[in-house]
Amino acid sequence: MRWDFSKIFVFGLGKAGMSAVLALADDGIEVLAWDDGQKARDALNKKDLNKVQLIAPSHCNFEDIDALILSPGIPFTHPKPHPVVTMAANAACPIICDIELLYLSDKNAKYIGITGTNGKSTTTSLLGHILQNSGLKSVVGGNICTPVLDLKPLGKNGIYVIEMSSYQLDLIDKTRFNISILLNITPDHLDRHGDMAGYVAAKCHIYDRQNQDDFAI
């Protein structure tokens, strides 16, 4: 198995959320899932997955859940936490995103994280292009385009080049980037981070857990 989980709740069934549901279910993990939008729930229902149950968070006991996978578009702290965040937090249920799932499933690979208010997609694409044309085993994903759980596993000597939004950076707990790049910070998404200090703090999570062997740019 890729993960040491038995039951996961995925909230938010956009690209990243749906990708997480499919990857977890494929790994044999029991998945509870929900989206506030009926269209997204209907899309999941059509997939007819045996290990996946659509259930509203209010009907779920988060004390029995190993982790809440929260899609980046769901308010985590501001302007106020979504009710599902409060339910999980009150039950001491870890709240993470799909990036964390990738890291937990492939710790032997190398990770490059890129964030910034402007230029992160261009920089991520350029780095991916350079690595791939240098003959290195690498893939590009994250906020830029492809959900990370849709990427092929790379293992040792592989390099994930991941564009990280401030929302995603708020939802990682163990992920460590061997190379972390923070390009710039100008006021943006302040409604989701409370103020500029909150936005800066979120961006700086890209440096969390780095050690003396890593690079912070």
DSSP labels, 121-183: HHHHHHHHHHHHHTT--EEEEETTSS-GGGSPP--TT-EEEEE--HHHHTT-SS---SEEEE-
For residue 3, which phi and psi values (nearest 5 degrees)?
Answer: -130, 150
What φ, ψ does residue 136 adopt, rounded to 5°?
-90, 145
Q: How many residues does the chain have?
A: 217
Mean pLDDT computed over every residue of the chain: 95
State the Cα–Cα distance between residues 110 and 145, nearest whole angstrom. Answer: 19
**Hey, what are 3's tokens?**
């993960």
Q: Dump pLDDT digits (tens) for 24-38.
A: 999 999 999 999 999
Tell me, what amino acid is at 185? I
Q: Is residue 1 over pLDDT 80? A: no
Nearest to 186 by CA among 159, 166, 206: 166
Please, what is the Cα angle at 210 between 167 and 77, to 5 degrees? 25
CA distances for 25 relative to 5, 21, 40, angstroms: 11, 6, 17
Q: Are 206 and 169 in contact (CB under 8 A)?
A: yes
The string of pLDDT tens digits covering residues 157-170 is: 999 999 999 999 99
Provide the angle, in degrees to the nearest 10, between the axes of the packed helices 98-105 and 15-26.
30
Rounded Cα distance between 33 and 54, Å, is 5
Predicted model pTM = 0.94
The b-or-e profile of 12-47 (16+ CB within 10 A means b, else e) is: bbbebbbbbbbbbbebebbbbbbbeeeebbeebeee
Render pLDDT for 54-103 as a digit per residue (tens, 0 to 9): 999 999 999 999 999 999 889 999 999 999 999 999 999 999 999 999 99
